[in-house]
Structures are given as structure tokens and as C-alpha cells.
Amino acid sequence: MTSKQLLRRAGLVTLLTSAAAAPATTHGEPDMPRHKRHQGVAATHESAHAALRSVPLSAVRMGDGFWKARMERNRKAGIPRLLALLEEHGAVENFRVAAGLSSAERRGPYFSDSDLFKWMEGAAYVVHLYPDDPTAAELQRVVDDVVAAQCDDGYLNTFFIKDIADQRFRNLMAEHEFYCAGHLIHAACAHYRATGSTKLLDAARRYADYLCSVFGPDKRYGRSGHEELEAAMVELYRTTGDGKYLHFAGYLLDGLEFHNRSELRGHAVRQGYFCMGGADYYIETGDAQYWDTLTRLFDDLVRRKMYITGGMGAQQHHEAFGAAYQLPNATAYAETCAAISNVLWNRRMLLAEPNCRYADVLERALYNGVLSGVSLSGDEYFYVNPLASSGGHKRQPWFGCTCCPTNMVRTLASIPSYLYDVSDGGVWVHLYDNSTLSWQLPDGRALTLQQQTGYPWDGRVEMTVTPQAASEFSVFLRIPGWCRKARLEVNGKAVADVRCGTYKEIRREWKPGDTLALQMDMPAEIVESHPRVPENRGCVAIQRGPVVYCIESPDNPGLPIEDARLATASPAELSARHEPDLLGGVTVITGPGLAPAGVLDELPLYAPVGTYDRAARMREVRLRAIPYYAWANRGDSHMKIWLPLGSQ
């Protein structure tokens, strides 16, 4: 038995991925004795605000299916290629430079440490699931380099070395030391859980101790310019049991005036991480004001500021949210990191309150705005994810600011953590894909839950529930908000009152081998957006299950993508067909369209109403739509999600 297994068995590893913040502390596990906790917070508050407990990453085994294929490409192509690029661009050597082990010049942006740390977090998840993967040795080597660069007082950042070593923290707003520290801590917690080694965790903790000694209410004033450290400090509290880190997270969030926020504004990734940190803090403290703010910001997101892809950030300028309903398509920024931050935030919302709406947003982002950020090959990335393109948009293996690729590899590596949770009441199924959960309820009753499905292409999911011994508990199944009708059978017998957009609780005495069959109707849907979204007025999008569709030029030869329209508002006129050999296997949707017979380029910009319809002389065409996430995998192309409806 490896030390890792020992740790897990002993209940020491209660948290699994940084994306899976469990309310472990509410149950008094041995690693977090009550007397060590954040002093201002009573245990009952903690318990009251963490409804679900995450399961270890390794408790979920992905079967062949949608996500496993992507995880494998990430593990075999993405992770090694990105490490090679990080090496090539100095992001690893910088630590040897800082340690005095290399005489090279430091290279890369001032926040390049964070890129390596995100890669390390992703590598830790890989090693957690595949201890024998070549990544393990690479990760060990990188950990050694990072740790060697730590200063005697705990400070650890490769930018402020040599002649500017005395200028630490000179500009927290712009120079991102807190942000880098946060990613170090997240990577360290993941590394500890994956390997049982405390080497990186000890270093991260020493740095955190140093930060806590320098900044605080009676010390130097410190506030994140780019949020991340807030959530990381909560995670470090969970991992070590030391309440001062939670306290420090609260100090940071107070400095950012968490309670005063009423809308999402500014840099989208920072806002997402800000909310993630606030949700983590709420989960541990139960501070009702935090929850008020979080739900208010969630409402602002889903009602006014989120792309249909789950993307966030309408404008390139400052990589920021736009005003309410300002969701331009071709000029959308929708940074990959922002969609990931949306997933991270809503994962925590879901842990705090198992409300289907959080899982709906998480799933929407994951299958669309996040997944569009990586090529089918698994090793090229988008930084910006527009919803329409007239060409020239290409994924790349690396960027000058390479935050998105490193964020993507850690996200894909952590996928199993998003599928299941447990609670006192039973087991929760959030996402559907071929997989097996082997874990236990909080009271120790072991169980296995196995899924068999063609999701997201097929709405049928067959599950087998196998408790170690027959026993009463609940299975909570998410009936997604995208679904309009679902049927559920237990051991072949229909279950009543299955409502979409909720979790369906099936409480009974479960016996080994009991079956669940969930049938979610999954027709192609035609969706419109709120009439106040200026660019989508008169337009519709196609969605099927959680997958948002687009039309792309390679599938529609001869069609002017920019001018194409959908000819019907009736979903019944759309056909879906699975094409296993296309784009790694996708369901393609075809439907009646319209395209101008005439050339529109030379028409005037403004003209009396009716001019364009007369000039365009619409012809009937057949549109072929593919999942948005799969676009831009066949060379330069034109693409759009939102289709003008009818002949207008």
C-alpha cells in the first residue's frame, strides 16, 4: 500500500482537487480538530453552509466516453507539450535562476510562475489517477526546482530576485505576487493529495505563513490585484487545519469589499476567481452576507452577462465584463480562463447549495466555453473564444500570456471531480458520462455507482447502484435545466414527479445491483436570447442537450456563413445524426436555411427599409451545424452560433 493510499484510507485526504472544496470540516475529521479552527466561526455555521462533500479524484474511474477521450489527450499530449514549452520559455529555469543554480537571465512575464504552478496542479491530478505516468517524474523534478527557489523567510517568487529582490510587493495591484502565491498553494494542496509528499505543501505553507506575517489588519495593507489567493488560503486551511489561513482569506476578501459588490464588472477572470474565493470562504464560515453577494452576482451573470457558451467577458478592453446584455459575438472576448473560472465558482456554489442552477451553468461552460478553448488534438488552445468569426482565428500551443493553456490542462485533468458528491442523505450525480464511483457515504457505508451512457449525444443514462450491503439512502440525480422532459425508472419501474432543472431524490433501500434508467429527451432545440441583447435580436441558436451548436464553413461549402439564416423556428424541422468519424465523433444537426442569392458586399450601409430583402433574394439552403466546441479544428474557417431567423 502506498503512502498515498494510506493517507486516503486514514481519512486524511478529505479534499481532492482544488476545484472540489468539500465541507469536510463540518464533520470533525482528524486533520482539522475543532480547537484549531478559525476562531470566529462556530462549527454549526460551517456545517449549515456546506451541503455536499466531494469525493476523492481517484474514487471516480472514467469509462470510455466523452470526457475520458479528452482527459487522455490532455495527459498524453497537452501536459507533456506544455511542460516542454514552459521549459523552453524559461518558466521552470526561472526557479533555478532564483535559487542561484543557473546563471541565465530570468525570462517571461512577471507572473510566469503562476503558469508553471497551474501546470503542476494539473500534473498532480494526472499523477493522482496515474501514479506511474511519466508525468510523475517530471512533476517531482519541477517540485524540486520550485522548492529550491524559496527564500529563507518563505518568500517564493522568481520575479523579485537579484537587483529587485528588495522590491517585493511594490505594486500588488499590477505585479500579481498574491496571484502567483495562490496558484502555488493550490498546486501544493493537489500535490500533497496526489502523492502524500509534503515537500511542496511545506514550501507553500511557509510562504503563506510569511504572507500572513507581513500583511493583515495591524500590519501592512495587502489586497490582490488579480484574485486567486483568497480561494487558495481557504484551501490551505482545509488541507492543514490552521484557521489563520481562513482568517487571512477573510482579510483579503474584506479588502476587496466583497459585501459591497452588486454586479459583475471589470476583468472577467479576476471576477470569477473573486467569486470562487468568496464561495470557498462562505462554505467554511457560513457568513450569510457572503451568500447574499454570491447569489446576487450569480443572478447578474445568468440574467445579463453570460454567453450562451458559459463564456464570460464581453470586451477585449481590460478583458472585462460589458454592461448588462452587452454580449457581442464576433468581438466577444470570452477568455478560456474566464469560462474556467465560471466552472470553479459554480462548483463551489453547488457544494454550498445543491441547486440545479449552479450545475446547469457549470455544465454549460464545461461543454462549450471551456471546451472550445482546446483543440481536438488536446494541445492547442484559444485565449479568446468568439461566438462568430470571419476567419483568422486559430488555436495555438502557447501565448505570450499563456494562462489559458495551463488553466486548461488542470481543468481537463480534474474532470472526474465534477461528477459526484455525497452528503449525509446519500449520493449525488451532477454530470453524466461513462464512469464508476467507488466511495462511501459520510457515515462510512461503501457504495459503487456505475453510469452507462452516450451522453452528451444521447439522453439515456443507465446506472447501477451497488451498496456494500442493502441499506437506505438517497440517490440524487440532476435533471438538467436544458431538458424539457425526462423519465426515470428504478429497477424498470417508473418514478413519478421527475422535474427538469432540479435534483430528483430517490430514497429507498438500495440493494446491490439496483438499476436506475434516466431518459432525458434530447431533441435539437432552437433557443433565443433576451430581447435586450442587441446582437442577438431576431436570431436563434441551436442547442442539443448541453451542447451549443454553430455553423462552420467546412461543413457548409459555398455558403456565406456571415449571411446565412435559419429558415424555421420549429425544432421539429431539424435533424440530428451522430457522425462517429467527424471531429472525434459528434452529433451533427441539419436544418433548412436561407442564404442570399445576391452579393451583399456592395450594398449601402443604410437604405430605406426593405432595400436589403429585395436585394438579397434569399435562396433555400441546407445548414449543417456542429458543436461549437469543435470549431476551428479544420484550418481557417468562418463560423457563427447565432443565426438570424427567417427572411428578415
Catalytic residues: 319, 403
* Cβ neighbourhood burial of 140 (10 Å; 0-12, 13-18, 19+): middle
Q: How far is the CB of 472 from a second copy (least distance, A)?
A: 37
644 binds a second copy per the rule CB under 8 A: yes
Dihedral of alpha carbons 302, 305, 306, 312, sign: negative
From 12, 43, 69, 603, residue interacting with a second copy (rule: CB under 8 A): 603
Per the structure block, which three cell numbers stand in for 53?
462533500
Binding mask 522-561 for a second copy (x = CB under 8 A): ---xxxxxxxxxxx-xxxxx--------------------
* Residues 268 and 313 sit within 8 Å (Cβ to Cβ): yes
- Beta strands in 230-351, from DSSP E residues, in sequence order: none
Closest CA to 124 of 55, 197, 76, 191: 191
State which of positions 311-330 bind a second copy (CB under 8 A).
315-317, 322-323, 326, 328-330
* Interface stretch with a second copy, choices 182-190, 229-237, 343-351, 595-603 (CB under 8 A): 595-603
- The alpha carbon of residue 179 and the mean position of all alpha carbons in its chain are separated, in whole angstroms, by 18
Question: What is the Cα–Cα distance from 57 to 75, expressed in whole angstroms?
Answer: 15
* Residues 438 and 61 sit within 8 Å (Cβ to Cβ): yes
Residue whose CB is less far from a second copy, 13 or 566: 566
- Beta strands in 321-418, from DSSP E residues, in sequence order: 388-390
* Residues 52 and 428 sit within 8 Å (Cβ to Cβ): yes
From 35, 152, 218, 606, residue interacting with a second copy (rule: CB under 8 A): 606
Closest CA to 639 of 453, 299, 390: 390
Residue whose CB is less far from a second copy, 443 or 613: 613
Q: How far is the CB of 82 from a second copy (least distance, A)?
A: 30
From 246, 297, 306, 447, residue interacting with a second copy (rule: CB under 8 A): 306
Q: Tell me the three state secondary structure of residue 343.
A: helix
Q: How far is the CB of 507 from a second copy (least distance, A)?
A: 31
State which of positions 330-369 bind a second copy (CB under 8 A).
330-331
640: left (phi over 0), alpha (psi -120 to 50) or beta: beta
Q: How far is the CB of 390 from a second copy (least distance, A)?
A: 8
How many residues touch a second copy under the rule CB under 8 A: the total is 54
From 616, 630, 632, 641, residue interacting with a second copy (rule: CB under 8 A): 616
Per the structure block, which three cell numbers stand in for 79?
501536459
* Interface stretch with a second copy, choices 103-111, 144-152, 446-454, 604-612 (CB under 8 A): 604-612
Residue whose CB is less far from a second copy, 42 or 603: 603
Q: How far is the CB of 388 from a second copy (least distance, A)?
A: 8
Q: How far is the CB of 309 from a second copy (least distance, A)?
A: 10
Closest CA to 416 of 62, 69, 100: 62
Q: How far is the CB of 402 from a second copy (least distance, A)?
A: 22
573 binds a second copy per the rule CB under 8 A: no
592 binds a second copy per the rule CB under 8 A: no
Question: What is the Cα–Cα distance from 554 to 549, expressed in whole angstroms?
Answer: 14
394 binds a second copy per the rule CB under 8 A: no
610 binds a second copy per the rule CB under 8 A: yes
Question: What is the Cα–Cα distance from 248 to 229, expressed in whole angstroms?
Answer: 10
Closest CA to 207 of 175, 253, 245: 245
Contact set with a second copy (CB under 8 A): 302-304, 306, 308, 315-317, 322-323, 326, 328-331, 388, 390, 484, 525-535, 537-541, 562-563, 569, 600-612, 616, 644-645, 648
